[in-house]
C-alpha cells in the first residue's frame, strides 16, 4: 500500500471506532427485546465480591453486548446475513439443531391391557367420554403431505428443545425428552387423584406442531411419534381420565385449518377450541359452539419463533393473523398475581383478555402465566374446575367459561400454595391437567407438579 | 475479554489507542500497554493476575542472578530453578485434573503461553543471547502484553527485545496492523463462528446415530472452525502488535495445503512447534540419539500442552507416530507422486489432520470411538441423510469461501493486485462494521484456544 492508502486506512479505522464509541456509551440502551420477548441484561451491581470473582466483569460484558442500541434491528440484520450464506433444501433451514437432544424412540410400556383396534381411530370413538386412552394410528400421518410445520413449549422459562427447524414460513420446535419421564408424569397425576379421591381428574397432553407439520423427508429424524408418547402416558393413568386431543387436532390439520401458529411456539386459539371440545365431551359438560363466540383478529403477528429460530427472515417476512374468540356468556375474572412485588392474596378484578403488544398476542389470554385466575360464570351447574397448565393451557380457558360454574386456572410454575389444601378449600369438583407434550415429558416440570401436592 | 467482543472493539481498544498515541515516548507507551494489559487480563481472571505478577517478578529477579553468575554453577542452578518453578506453576494450575487430585485450581488464562515465553527469556539470558531486562515495567510488558497474552503467538523475548525500548511507529506498520487485525476479526466472526455453530450441532450430539456423511461433514466443519478461529486470533494478535509497533512472529502459513504431516506442523501454530523443537526436542538430543523416542516425547507433550485431558496426549501421539512413519518411509513413497498430482498428497494430509481433530474434539473416549465408528459406517448408520445435506447447503457459500481462503489466494491477490490495495481501507471499514453487526445478539462466540 502506498502512503496515501495507508493514511486513508488508518483514518477509516479510526473513524469507525470513533463513531461507534459514543453510540455505545451514550445512546439509550434497550431494556427489553421485542423479538426475543425477554428483559435484557441489567447493569450489574458493583460489589467487591463481584469484582474479585470476576462476576461483575462477566455481567458487565453481558450487559454491554445484550443492550446494544438498536439491538433487535442489528440482530435482524445479522440473521439476514446468515441466511444468505447458503441455500435451503426443500425450503428447510435449521437453527442450532443439537443432534444430542433428538429424543430417543419412545418405549411404550403398557402396564395394563389396551385395546388397539381400528375402531378406536374413528372420530366417534375419539370423541367418546369412554375413550380408553389409546390414540390409534391414523391411516396416514397427517401433515406428511402438508407443506408446513411448527413448534411447542413455554414462555417465562427456558425452552428445552433440540433446536428449531424452519420449513418455508413455519418454524417448528424440535422437542426432546426422555422416554421414562412420561410414566412419572402419569404417576404424579395418579397421586393427586389418590389424595383427592372425590374429585374427577383429567389429563390432556397437547401435541406440538412438529408432530403434524414435519416435512416427510425429515420424519425419521425429527418426526417423533408424539402419539405413542401420549399413549405411553395414558397407559399409566389410574382413575384419571385421558382427554384425546391428538386425533381432533391431527384431523383439523389435515383439513387445512390453522390450529397451530406458524410463527409462535404455541397452538392457535382454534386448536384450543377443538381440544376444549374434546374435554367437554369427556367431562360431560355443556359446550358452546364456535359460532357463538366473538372473533377477534390481530394482524401482522410474529411470535416467539422468530427469536427462537435465530431471527429467520422467512418468519419475519411472513407474519400471520392471531385470532382469538371471546365467549358470549356472562362471567367475571379475578387475578391473583404471583410475581415479585405483588401480594398473591390480593384479588385483582379484570378482563379475561388483556391487550398486549402484537408480538405478545398469545399473552392476551389472562395476561400470561404469572397468576392464579378465578373465573365465575353464569353457567347453571355445581361443577367447579381447576386447570393445572402450562402456557398452552391458557388458550383453552375462554372455551370453558360456558361449561363450569367456576374455574381456577393454576400455572404449574407460579403457584405458591399446597394443591391439596387449595383444591379442597375451593370446592373443586374437576381437575384438568393440560400441558404440552414437552412439559409432560420433562422431569423438571413433573417435579414442579409433584411439589405442589 | 476477547478481541471478538463489542466491549473490546469499541470501548477498550479505542481508549487504549488514544492513550497510547497520546504519548511520544516509548517508556510512557510501555506503561500504557502494561496498564491496559493488566486490565485486559484481570477482566477475565481478577485473582489470577497475582499469579501472573508473581511469576513475572520472580523470573525477572532470577534472570538477573543468572546473568550475574553467568558461566557459574550458580547461574545454571538459578536457570533450572527458574524454569522448574515456572513449569511447576504450569503443572499445578493446568494439569492436576489429569490425576484426580482433591484440589482442582482454576486454569489461569494464558498460563501456557506466558510460561513458555518466560522460559524462552530465561534460556536466552542463561545462554547470553541478550541482556536481562532490568526494568520491572518492561519485563512485565513483555510477559503480559495483551495482544498475545491469552492465545499467542508465543513470542520469544529475542523476537521483540529490541522493540521494547526502541520501536519505530511507521505508517505502513500501523496500517498493515489494522488490515491484519480486521482480517483476523473477519475470520473469527464471519467464518469460524458460523461454521462452528454447524459443527457443534453435529458433533455435540448422539454421534452414534450420525450418518457417515454427517460425521465427515461434522469433523470437516470443525477443521475449518478451528483453523479460522485460531489463525484469526493470531492475525488479530499480530495486527494489534503491528499497530503498537511490534513485529510478532507468524503463527500460521496455510496449513491445510500441506503435503505431509511434517509440513502441516511447520505451518500450524508455528511458534509452538518452534518452541518444542528448540527447547525440548533439540536439548533431548534431536535426531542424533533416540530420535524416535524424542519425537514421541515431544509430540505427547505438544498434545498435552493443549489441555489436561488424555485425549490430547493421544492426539499428540497420533501425530508423533505419523511423523515417525513419514521420516521412515512414507515421504519416500510419496516422493514418487509426480508434482502435477501433488494435490493427492494434500488431500491425504488433510484427511489425516481431520482424523486427528476427532481426538482433539472428543475428550470422552467413548464418544470418540462412537464417532469414529459412525465415520466408517460401523454403527449401521446410513451413508448420508437429509439433515447432513441440509446443514451443508444452509451455508454452502460460506463453506466454499472458507475452503478458498485456506489457500494463499488472498496473499496472491494482495501482491499482484494494485486495486486490491486501494480497496483495503473500504473493505476494512466494511468488514469491521459487518463483524460488529454479526456480534449483536450472537450467542455462539467461543474461542477454542482461549484456555490453552
Interchain proximity B172–A221, CB inside 8 Å: no
Kindly tell me if the per-residue pLDDT of B282 is higher than 70: yes
Pick from B7, B171, B438: CB nearest A64: B7
Assess contact for B406 and B256: CB atoms under 8 A. yes
Tell the burial category of B131 from Cβ atoms under 10 Å away from its Cβ (0-12, 13-18, 19+): exposed
Tell me which of A38, A56, A83 is where a domain ends: A83
The string of pLDDT tens digits covering residues B245-257 is 999 999 999 999 9
Kindly tell me if the per-residue pLDDT of B288 is higher than 90: no
For residues A373 and A266, membership in a common domain is answered with yes
For residues A55 and A153, membership in a common domain is answered with no
**Mean pLDDT of all residues belonging to chain B:** 90
Interchain proximity B442–A311, CB inside 8 Å: no
Interchain proximity B395–A99, CB inside 8 Å: no
| B191 in contact with A, Cβ within 8 Å | no
Tell the burial category of A140 from Cβ atoms under 10 Å away from its Cβ (0-12, 13-18, 19+): exposed
| B14 in contact with A, Cβ within 8 Å | yes
For residues A13 and A102, membership in a common domain is answered with no
Report the catalytic residues of B: 306
At A1 the pLDDT is: 65
For the ranges A149-158, A201-210, B90-99, B396-405, the lowest mean pLDDT is seen at A149-158
Q: Which residues of chain B neighbour A17 with C-beta distances below 8 Å?
A: 9-10, 13-14, 17
Kindly tell me if the per-residue pLDDT of B153 is higher than 50: yes
In a domain, A143, yes or no: yes
Full domain range(s) for residue A446: 93-452
For residues A61 and A171, membership in a common domain is answered with no
ipTM greater than cut 0.85: yes
At B373 the pLDDT is: 94
Angle between helices B49-68 and B111-127 (to 10 degrees): 10
B153 preceded by a cis bond (ω within 30 of 0): yes
Q: Report d(CA B156, CA B114) in Å as an integer.
A: 10
**How many residues are listed for chain A in this entry?**
453
Of residues B112, B130, B116, B47, the one with CA closest to residue B83 = B116
For residues A59 and A178, membership in a common domain is answered with no
Kindly list the distances between the CA atom of residue B330 and the CA atoms of B300, B327, B333, in Å, as whole numbers in the listed order.
21, 7, 5
For residues A131 and A45, membership in a common domain is answered with no
Q: Report d(CA B400, CA B391) in Å as an integer.
A: 14
Interchain proximity A218–B178, CB inside 8 Å: no
Band of residue B201 on the pLDDT scale cut at 50, 70, 90: confident
Tell me which of A83, A108, A142 is where a domain ends: A83
Tell the burial category of B39 from Cβ atoms under 10 Å away from its Cβ (0-12, 13-18, 19+): middle
For residues A124 and A211, membership in a common domain is answered with yes
Pick from A36, A77, A217: CB nearest B386: A217
For residues A262 and A343, membership in a common domain is answered with yes
Of residues A297, A294, A286, the one with CA closest to residue A377 = A286
Could you give the number of structural domains in chain A? 2
Band of residue B289 on the pLDDT scale cut at 50, 70, 90: confident
Q: Report d(CA B7, CA B208) in Å as an integer.
A: 40
Q: Which residues of chain B neighbour A7 with C-beta distances below 8 Å?
A: 171, 175
The string of pLDDT tens digits covering residues B207-242 is 888 899 999 999 999 999 999 999 999 999 999 999
Tell me which of A83, A105, A129 is where a domain ends: A83
Assess contact for A360 and A37: CB atoms under 8 A. yes
Q: Residue ranges per domain, chain B?
A: 6-167, 173-439
For residues A69 and A182, membership in a common domain is answered with no
Interchain proximity A15–B206, CB inside 8 Å: no
| Bridge partners (DSSP) listed for residue A374 | A334, A408
Tens-digit pLDDT string for chain A (453 aa): 678 888 999 999 999 999 999 998 888 898 888 777 778 888 999 898 888 888 899 889 888 888 899 888 888 888 888 888 888 776 777 776 554 333 332 222 222 323 333 333 333 333 444 556 667 665 443 333 333 333 333 333 233 345 788 888 999 988 755 557 889 999 999 999 999 999 999 999 999 999 999 887 776 666 567 888 899 999 999 999 999 999 999 999 999 999 999 999 999 999 999 999 999 999 999 999 999 999 999 999 999 888 888 788 889 889 999 999 999 999 999 999 988 778 888 899 899 999 988 888 999 999 988 899 999 999 999 999 999 999 999 999 999 999 999 999 999 988 999 999 999 999 999 999 999 998 898 888 899 999 998
Helix (H, G, I), strand (E, B) or coil at B400: helix
At A99 the pLDDT is: 44
What is the pLDDT averaged over residues B421-445? Answer: 83
Distance from CA of A25 to the nearest CA of B (A): 8
The string of pLDDT tens digits covering residues B172-182 is 999 999 999 99
In a domain, A219, yes or no: yes
For residues A126 and A225, membership in a common domain is answered with yes
Is the pTM higher than 0.90? The answer reads no
For residues A65 and A192, membership in a common domain is answered with no
Report B:391-430 residues touching A (Cβ under 8 A).
391-399, 421-422, 424-426, 428-429
At A159 the pLDDT is: 32
For residues A79 and A122, membership in a common domain is answered with no
Interchain proximity A77–B437, CB inside 8 Å: yes
At A100 the pLDDT is: 34
At B276 the pLDDT is: 93
What is the pLDDT averaged over residues B382-388? Answer: 83
In a domain, A88, yes or no: no
Band of residue B140 on the pLDDT scale cut at 50, 70, 90: very high
Kindly tell me if the per-residue pLDDT of B63 is higher than 80: yes
Q: Which residues of chain A neighbour B209 with C-beta distances below 8 Å?
A: 99, 102
Selected for mutation to probe chain A from B387, B391, B395 (highest A CB count within 10 Å) is B387
Amino acid at each position: 500500500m502506498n502512503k496515501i492508502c495507508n493514511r486513508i486506512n488508518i483514518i477509516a479505522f479510526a473513524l469507525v471506532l470513533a463513531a461507534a464509541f459514543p453510540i455505545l456509551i451514550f445512546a439509550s440502551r434497550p431494556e427489553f427485546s421485542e423479538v426475543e420477548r425477554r428483559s435484557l441484561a441489567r447493569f450489574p451491581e458493583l460489589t467487591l465480591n463481584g469484582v474479585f470473582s470476576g462476576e461483575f466483569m462477566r455481567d458487565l460484558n453481558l450487559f454491554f453486548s445484550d443492550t446494544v442500541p438498536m439491538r433487535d434491528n442489528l440482530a435482524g440484520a445479522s440473521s439476514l446475513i446468515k441466511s444468505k450464506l447458503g441455500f435451503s433444501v426443500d425450503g428447510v433451514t435449521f437453527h442450532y439443531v443439537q443432534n444430542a437432544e433428538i429424543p430417543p424412540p419412545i418405549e411404550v410400556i403398557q402396564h395394563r391391557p389396551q385395546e388397539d383396534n381400528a375402531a378406536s381411530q374413528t372420530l366417534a370413538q375419539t370423541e367418546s367420554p369412554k375413550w380408553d386412552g389409546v390414540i390409534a394410528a391414523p391411516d396416514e400421518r397427517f401433515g406428511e403431505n402438508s407443506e408446513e410445520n411448527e413448534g411447542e413449549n413455554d414462555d417465562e422459562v427456558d425452552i428445552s428443545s433440540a433446536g428449531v427447524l424452519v420449513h418455508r414460513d413455519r418454524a417448528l420446535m424440535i422437542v426432546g425428552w426422555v422416554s421414562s419421564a412420561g410414566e412419572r408424569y402419569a404417576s404424579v397425576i395418579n397421586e393427586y387423584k389418590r389424595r383427592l379421591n372425590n374429585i374427577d381428574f383429567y389429563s390432556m397432553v397437547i401435541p406440538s406442531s412438529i408432530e403434524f407439520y414435519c416435512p416427510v423427508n425429515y420424519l425419521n429424524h425429527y418426526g417423533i411419534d408424539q402419539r405413542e408418547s401420549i399413549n405411553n402416558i395414558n397407559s399409566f393413568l389410574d382413575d384419571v381420565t385421558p382427554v384425546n386431543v391428538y386425533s381432533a387436532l391431527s384431523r383439523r390439520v389435515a383439513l387445512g385449518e390453522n390450529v397451530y401458529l406458524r410463527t409462535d411456539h404455541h397452538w392457535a386459539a382454534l386448536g384450543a377450541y377443538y381440544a376444549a371440545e374434546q374435554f367437554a365431551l369427556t367431562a360431560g359438560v355443556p359446550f358452546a359452539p364456535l359460532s357463538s363466540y366473538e372473533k377477534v383478529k390481530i394482524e401482522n403477528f410474529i411470535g416467539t419463533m422468530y427469536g427462537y429460530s435465530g431471527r429467520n427472515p422467512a418468519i419475519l417476512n411472513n407474519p400471520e393473523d392471531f385470532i382469538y374468540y371471546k365467549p358470549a356468556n356472562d362471567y367475571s375474572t379475578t387475578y391473583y398475581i404471583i410475581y415479585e412485588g405483588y401480594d398473591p392474596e390480593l384479588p385483582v378484578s379484570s378482563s379475561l383478555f388483556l391487550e398486549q403488544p402484537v408480538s405478545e398476542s398469545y399473552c392476551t389470554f389472562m395476561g400470561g402465566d404469572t397468576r392464579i385466575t378465578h373465573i365465575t360464570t353464569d353457567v347453571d351447574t355445581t361443577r367447579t374446575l381447576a386447570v393445572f397448565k402450562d402456557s398452552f393451557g391458557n388458550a383453552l380457558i375462554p372455551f370453558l367459561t360456558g361449561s363450569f360454574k367456576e374455574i381456577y386456572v393454576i400455572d404449574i410454575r407460579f403457584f405458591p400454595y399446597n394443591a391439596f389444601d387449595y383444591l379442597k378449600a375451593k370446592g373443586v369438583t374437576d381437575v384438568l391437567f393440560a400441558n404440552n407434550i414437552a412439559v409432560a415429558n420433562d422431569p423438571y416440570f413433573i417435579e414442579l407438579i409433584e411439589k405442589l401436592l | 475479554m476477547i478481541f471478538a467482543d463489542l466491549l473490546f472493539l469499541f470501548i477498550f481498544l479505542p481508549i487504549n489507542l488514544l492513550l497510547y498515541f497520546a504519548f511520544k515516548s516509548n517508556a510512557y507507551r510501555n506503561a500504557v500497554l502494561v496498564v491496559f494489559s493488566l486490565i485486559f487480563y484481570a477482566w477475565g481472571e481478577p485473582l489470577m493476575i497475582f499469579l501472573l505478577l508473581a511469576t513475572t517478578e520472580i523470573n525477572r529477579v532470577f534472570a538477573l542472578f543468572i546473568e550475574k553468575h553467568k558461566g557459574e554453577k550458580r547461574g545454571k542452578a538459578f536457570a533450572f530453578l527458574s524454569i522448574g518453578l515456572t513449569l511447576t506453576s504450569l503443572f499445578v494450575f493446568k494439569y492436576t485434573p489429569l490425576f484426580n487430585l482433591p484440589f482442582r485450581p482454576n486454569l489461569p488464562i494464558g498460563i501456557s503461553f506466558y510460561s513458555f515465553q518466560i522460559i524462552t527469556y530465561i534460556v536466552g539470558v542463561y545462554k547470553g543471547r541478550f541482556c536481562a531486562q532490568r526494568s520491572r515495567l518492561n519485563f512485565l510488558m513483555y510477559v503480559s502484553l495483551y495482544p498475545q497474552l491469552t492465545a499467542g503467538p508465543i513470542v520469544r523475548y529475542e523476537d521483540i527485545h529490541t522493540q521494547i525500548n526502541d520501536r519505530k511507529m511507521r505508517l505502513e506498520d500501523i496500517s498493515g496492523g489494522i488490515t491484519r487485525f480486521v482480517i483476523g476479526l473477519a475470520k473469527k466472526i464471519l467464518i469460524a463462528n458460523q461454521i462452528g455453530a454447524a459443527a457443534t450441532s453435529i458433533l455435540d450430539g448422539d454421534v452414534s446415530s450420525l450418518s457417515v456423511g454427517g460425521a465427515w461433514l461434522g469433523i470437516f466443519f470443525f477443521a475449518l472452525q478451528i483453523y479460522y478461529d485460531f489463525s484469526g486470533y493470531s492475525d488479530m494478535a499480530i495486527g494489534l502488535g503491528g499497530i503498537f509497533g511490534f513485529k510478532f512472529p507468524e503463527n500460521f502459513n496455510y496449513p491445510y495445503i500441506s503435503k505431509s504431516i511434517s509440513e502441516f506442523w511447520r505451518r500450524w501454530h508455528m511458534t509452538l512447534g518452534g518452541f518444542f523443537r528448540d527447547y525440548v526436542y533439540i536439548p533431548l538430543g534431536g535426531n542424533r540419539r533416540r530420535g524416535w523416542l524424542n519425537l514421541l516425547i515431544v509430540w505427547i507433550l505438544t498434545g498435552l500442552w493443549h489441555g489436561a485431558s488424555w485425549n490430547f496426549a493421544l492426539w499428540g501421539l497420533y501425530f508423533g507416530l505419523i511423523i515417525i512413519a513419514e521420516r521412515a518411509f512414507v515421504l519416500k513413497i510419496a516422493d514418487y507422486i509426480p508434482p502435477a498430482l501433488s494435490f493427492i498428497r494434500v488431500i491425504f494430509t488433510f484427511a489425516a489432520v481431520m482424523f486427528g481433530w476427532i481426538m482433539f474434539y472428543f475428550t470422552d473416549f467413548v464418544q470418540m470411538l462412537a464417532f469414529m465408528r459412525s465415520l466408517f459406517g460401523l454403527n449401521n448408520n446410513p451413508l448420508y441423510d437429509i439433515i447432513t445435506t441440509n446443514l451443508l447447503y444452509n451455508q454452502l457459500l460460506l463453506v466454499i469461501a472458507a475452503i478458498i481462503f485456506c489457500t494463499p489466494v488472498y496473499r496472491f491477490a494482495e501482491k499482484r493486485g494494485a486495486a486490491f490495495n486501494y480497496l483495503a481501507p473500504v473493505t476494512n471499514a466494511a468488514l469491521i462494521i459487518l463483524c460488529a453487526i454479526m456480534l449483536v445478539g450472537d450467542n455462539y462466540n467461543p474461542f477454542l484456544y482461549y484456555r490453552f
